[in-house]
Amino acid sequence: MKKVYTVLKDNYEDAGQASRDIKMTLKMLEINPKVLKRISIACYEAEINLVIHSNGGTITFELDDDGIVKLSFDDTGPGIENIELAMTPGYSTASKEAREFGFGAGMGLDNMKNCASTFDIQSSKDGTHLRMTFQ
Amino acid sequence: MKLSELQSINEIRLVNTIKDDKDIQDVYIGDLLSFVMANGKEESIWLTVQRHINVIAVAELNDFSAIIFVENVEPDEETLLKANELHIPLFVSSLDAFALCKRLYQEGL
Ligand SMILES: Nc1ncnc2c1ncn2[C@@H]1O[C@H](COP(=O)(O)OP(=O)(O)O)[C@@H](O)[C@H]1O
Ligand SMILES: [Mg+2]
C-alpha cells in the first residue's frame, strides 16, 4: 500500500492532517497500538517540520507485505545546514509565530529518532529528505 | 472517572457540542506540542492554554478523551469547529492547572 500527501509551507490550519489520515489507515488495519503510537508521534513531528521549517513538500506512506511501515518526507528546501546541531534536543530555529502556536520545542527530530526503527536524514539547500521505518 | 463526572466541578464548562461520555484515565498538562505528543497517554484529559487549531490534531493523535483550556482561555473558533468534526469534547475552566488538578483529585481522579 502506498499513499502520497502534499504539505504546504505555513499551512498551520491543516497541519497534522496527513498524520491523522495515516493513523486512521493503520488503525483500520489493526496494527499493534504501541507501534501505531510511535508512528503517530514521528509522523506528526516530521509533518509539522515541513509546515514550519520547509518550503513545502510531500509525505509518502508505504506499507509492505511484511508489515513494515515506511515514511518518507521530501521537501524543496531550504535544507538543514548542520544536521547534528538540528538533532540536539532543545535546538530550534522556529519563528515567533510558530512558537506562539506551541511548536518549536526543539524536540521533534529527537522524538522521531526515538520512535523510529530506522532513521535517515539527508539535507542540502535543495531540500531535506527524511526516511523512517517502523516495525 | 468519566467525562460526565466533570459536571460536578462548577469551574468547568463544556464549550463545544460533543457530549460523548468518555473514560478519563490520566491527566496531561502542557503547552509545548512536542512534549505533549511524546508523553501524553491515551484516554487522558489535556490541560493547556494553547487555543490554536493545532491542539485538535495533537489530541486526536494521542487519543485524548478531552481538552480543558485552563485559566479561562477560550479556544479559537476554528478549534471549536474541528473538535466538533473529530468528536473531541472541549471544556474551559476558570481555574489554573494546579487548582484544577486539586479539584479533579477531590473528585476521585
Ligand atoms: N524539513 C526541514 N527543513 C528545514 N529545516 C528543518 C527541517 N526540519 C527540521 N529543521 C531544522 O531543525 C531544527 C530542529 O527541528 P526539531 O527537532 O523538529 O525542532 P523544532 O521543529 O521544534 O524547531 C528546526 O528548528 C530547523 O532549524
Ligand atoms: Mg519540529
CATH code: domain of residue B38? 3.40.1390.20
Spatial distance between the Cα atoms of A114 and B55, rounded to a whole number of angstroms: 22
> CA-to-CA distance for B10 and B106, rounded, in angstroms?
13
Concatenate the DSSP letters of all residues of B10-36 into one string: TTEEE-SS-----B--EEEE-S-HHHH
Average pLDDT of chain A? Answer: 97
DSSP letter, residue A97: H
Mean pLDDT of the B75-97 span: 97
pTM of the full structure: 0.97
pLDDT at position A126 is 97
Please tell me the predicted confidence (pLDDT) of residue A94. Answer: 97
- Inter-chain CB proximity A105 and B53 less than 8 Å: no
A107 at the B interface (CB within 8 A)? yes
Residue nearest to atom 18 of ligand 1 (CA): A108
Instruction: For residue B61, list chain A residues with Cβ-Cβ distance below 8 A.
Output: 16, 19-20, 23, 40-41, 44
Reduce the DSSP state of residue B3 to 3 states and report it. Answer: helix
**A20 at B interface, C-beta within 8 A:** yes
> ipTM higher than 0.85?
yes
| CA within 13 Å, CB half, A119 | 17
pLDDT for position A75: 98
Distance between CA atoms of residues B52 and B54, nearest Å:
5
Dig out the grid coordinates for A64 from the structure: 509492505
Handedness of CA B15, B70, A110, A124 (dihedral sign): positive
How confident is residue A59, by pLDDT bands cut at 50, 70 and 90? very high
pLDDT digits (tens, 9 = 90+) for A113-135: 999 999 999 999 999 999 999 99
DSSP state of B23: B
Give the integer Cα–Cα distance in Å for A124 and B38.
Answer: 28
Among A90, A121, A114, A120, CA closest to A41? A114
A106 Cβ below 6 A of ligand 1: yes
pLDDT band for position B107 (cuts 50, 70, 90): very high
Work out the pLDDT band at A103, boundaries 50, 70, 90. Answer: very high
Cβ distance of A12 and B54 shorter than 8 Å? yes
C-alpha cell at A20: 491523522
Residue B90, domain extent: 3-106
Q: What domain count does chain B have?
A: 1
